[in-house]
Amino acid sequence: MTTQHSAAADPTHQQAQSTAKPRVALVGVHGFGEHHLANLARLEAAGALELVAVADPNPPQDGTLAAAVAVFPDLDGLLAAQAGVDVVILATPIQTHAPLAVAALSAGMDVYVEKPPVSSLAQFEEVLAAARENGRLVQVGFQSLGSHALPAIAGMVDAGDIGTVLGISATGQWLRTKAYFKRSRWAGMRSLDGTDVVDGVATNALAHAVATALHVAGAHTLADVASVETDLYRAHETESDDTTVLRVRTANGSTLLCALTLCAPEQLDPTVTVHGTLGDITLSYTRDDVVITTAHGERREAYGRTDLLENLLDARATGAPLLAALQDTGAFTAVLEAIRTSPHRRPSGTNSSRGTGRATIRTRWSMASVTSRCAPSRPRPRSPRLGVPWARALPPVQTLTLDGRPVADYQDGSHIRAVSSPRPYLHPVRTLGGTVVTDHQPLDHVWHLGAGVALQDVDGVNFWGGRTYTREAGKYAWRPDHGSITATAVHQTDAGSGHGGGLQESLSWNGPDGTPILVEERSWAWSGVAPSIWRLSLDFALSPAGDNQVSLGSPGSNGRFEGGYGGFFWRLPKCGDAAVWTAAGSGEAETHGSVTRWLAWSGKFDGGPATLVFVAPEGSADPWFVRVDGYPGVGQSLAWDAPVIARPGSPVRRRVTVFVADGSLATPDIEALINQQGDPS
């Protein structure tokens, strides 16, 4: 999963010819520079180097340095004095890193630069070119990349300890006061005096979370990153983001999700997790502790760490590989550049605030919900996928309206991760009064997507998402068997005068390798029924994409008792006083598996009371699939306990209608509504 570059083979490396102690200078002695001073004192006492100079406009207090250490106001003064420095450490404001590094490299020095090494992709290329032209080394201060846990994790993954890797996540929940953002002129700034700074939670404070996760994902260079998506927010009065969600796709196909904040209700250790089909590996990178969780239990391991300055000195002397070489932070720079160029830094008004003055703390109590979604089947950034009110909404591909009011959004599923079986769906679906009656990507089953069509077994391919139930295993297990449903054509029509409309989809059900297995013709139709009721109808037909028949199955058809979900499915949001009933009985036990003309669900949703009435066509033999206690969901089972076969020229066709009503409807109301509408399907 990881690679290292040999300094001896790197064109930027020029091995020192002298056996004398390296002469080191530190630029920036305050802030994190104080850490470097302590480390330099340790290494000097061990005989590994000689600290010969420091540079800072605010020099250290008398007695801090040995008398032989020269003090300069800045790097220019140090270079002009020709102090004979071999290595310079840059612990200066972010916006100064690149110009100072170029100056030091041009003067023939190797460089240790604090993170982030640069403020833009252009600066990255400039510093990298200077290192190559002068044959010098550049180490970046991502200390976590010196952790011995990283090669250990790579070894565990390569050995198959957690099965097939599904994804990688990084979470960081830190708490910072207003004083943190007032510590300097550049703190929390996107730019200063026309110069890029890009100080933010992902680029500076919790940059190690991003850099470490990229390393674990095998993404080092610019070429290793295929795409970066950002969702940036700020609670404090800053230019930059203090809460960030990132999604990175790597060139090798890995997906990385990062959820980071400086507005957590309490400070927690940041972590990087590798999610696999058989378990997880979680690294607490500030402590170099690893937790391996599988079906066999949990074990913990602690690791040491190589100091990056020592590593740089070793690289100079022996040609050993740099652990955080500048060129290997290209992937991180790709993320930084995406953040730098992103226009989205939305202020949020849904924060809790406590304290006064510089001690003020602003928190997002819902960040726990966000970070808990950073797992292999979790959603990309943006609300309502994040489940928090302050996040940016996912724009719909189409909007279904009645009399100018949006009643449903159509999503094409392109934002869904592979292990959730990407597919089109409707969400949110609303009552005419605006109450949302669908959910998507809930934490309990993140592959549940509003209202739509899905099947877990189509000739062995999972188009439902999540784990797969097989007869052979007799249980659910992660398998690399997820398909995707993509639209080849979508056409929306308007009934006129705001009375409703239709949406026709031509869809391709593709296997994990992209090969079409099924083709589908799907039609949605909607219209008003009463001032507080509207009707949504679905008609779909599934046909083999080739000349052979295709088996359509479910966990129920594969041996799971009463687990016959698949086909039409409607995931509801949580609601109070939930009630589900048919003309023959009520409650989950009596309605689940029943074959009745209609099934109703009512409850108190966030927007108010609402009732959904699901109506099957006359003569339908498909049982209702109902869940109330575990999660709220209703479906029509296409393959309850036996597979259904789709044959060439003989599609499998299903229809269903849903009445969406504000308020609570009783059985007489429902029967009168259905009788009034005739056969609504």
pLDDT value, residue 2: 42
Q: Is the pLDDT of residue 318 over 70?
A: yes
Here the tokens at position 123 are: 């600066």
Q: Edge-to-edge, what's the strand order for the sheet holding 50-55? A: 70-72, 50-55, 23-27, 87-90, 110-113, 138-140
pLDDT band at 266 (very low <50, low <70, confident <90, very high): confident
pLDDT band at 274 (very low <50, low <70, confident <90, very high): very high
pLDDT band at 141 (very low <50, low <70, confident <90, very high): very high
pLDDT band at 322 (very low <50, low <70, confident <90, very high): very high
pLDDT value, residue 604: 97
CA angle 106, 108, 113 (to 5 degrees): 75
Phi and psi, residue 210, nearest 5°: -70, -50
pLDDT band at 387 (very low <50, low <70, confident <90, very high): very low
**Burial annotation 469-486 (CB, 10 A radius, 16+ → b, else e):** bbeeeeeeebbebbbbbb
pLDDT band at 312 (very low <50, low <70, confident <90, very high): very high
pLDDT digits (tens, 9 = 90+) for 406-437: 999 999 998 888 889 999 999 999 999 999 99
Q: What's the full length of the chain, in residues?
A: 681
Q: Is the pLDDT of residue 235 over 90?
A: no
The CATH class given to the 23-144 domain equals: alpha beta
**How far is residue 448's CA from residue 450's CA, in Å, rounded to a whole number?**
7
Domain boundaries, the chain: 23-144, 145-372, 398-677
Asked if residues 639 and 566 have their Cβ atoms less than 8 Å apart, the reply is yes
pLDDT value, residue 680: 58
Q: Is the pLDDT of residue 529 over 50?
A: yes
pLDDT value, residue 348: 54
State pTM to two decimals: 0.77
pLDDT value, residue 352: 54
541 vs 64, residue with greater confidence: 541
**Burial annotation 314-324 (CB, 10 A radius, 16+ → b, else e):** bbbeeebbbbb
Query: Can you tell me the mean pLDDT for 588-592?
Result: 97
Q: Which one is the CATH code of 145-372: 3.20.20.120, 3.40.190.10, 3.30.360.10, 3.20.20.70?
A: 3.30.360.10
pLDDT digits (tens, 9 = 90+) for 431-466: 999 999 999 988 889 899 999 999 999 999 999 999
111 vs 378, residue with greater confidence: 111
Query: Can you tell me the mean pLDDT for 528-552?
Result: 97
Q: Is the pLDDT of residue 173 over 80?
A: yes
CA angle 407, 411, 412 (to 5 degrees): 150
Q: Is the pLDDT of residue 643 over 60?
A: yes
Q: Rounded to whole angstroms, what are the CA distances from 149 to 211, 290, 304?
A: 14, 7, 7
Half-sphere exposure of 516 (CA within 13 A, CB side): 16
pLDDT value, residue 401: 94
Q: Strand 23-27 to strand 50-55: parallel, antiparallel, or no bridges (unpaired)? A: parallel
Note every long-range contact of 391-399, with CB atoms under 8 Å and residues 24 or more positions apart, other chains counting.
Answer: 391/231, 391/233, 391/245, 392/231, 392/344, 392/346, 397/490, 398/490, 398/492, 398/503
Here the tokens at position 595 are: 């074959």
Q: Is the pLDDT of residue 320 over 80?
A: yes
pLDDT value, residue 359: 59
pLDDT value, residue 61: 85
Are domains 23-144 and 145-372 of this chain identical in fold?
A: no
Q: Is the pLDDT of residue 160 over 90?
A: yes
Q: Is the pLDDT of residue 147 over 80?
A: yes
Q: Is the pLDDT of residue 350 over 60?
A: no
pLDDT value, residue 15: 44
Average pLDDT, the chain: 89
DSSP at 3? -
Query: Can you tell me the mean pLDDT for 172-179?
Result: 85
Q: Is the pLDDT of residue 579 over 90?
A: yes
Q: Strand 567-571 to strand 633-636: parallel, antiparallel, or no bridges (unpaired)? A: antiparallel
Phi and psi, residue 179, nearest 5°: -60, -35
Query: Can you tell me the mean pLDDT for 62-76?
Result: 93
Q: Is the pLDDT of residue 382 over 70?
A: no
pLDDT digits (tens, 9 = 90+) for 501-524: 999 999 999 999 999 999 999 999
**How far is residue 284's CA from residue 273's CA, in Å, rounded to a whole number?**
9
User: What one-letter code names the amino acid at 91?
Assistant: A
pLDDT digits (tens, 9 = 90+) for 355-378: 556 555 555 545 555 555 555 444
Run of H or E including 502 = strand 500-510
The CATH class given to the 398-677 domain equals: mainly beta
Asked if residues 103 and 123 have their Cβ atoms less than 8 Å apart, the reply is no
pLDDT value, residue 393: 59
pLDDT value, residue 237: 80
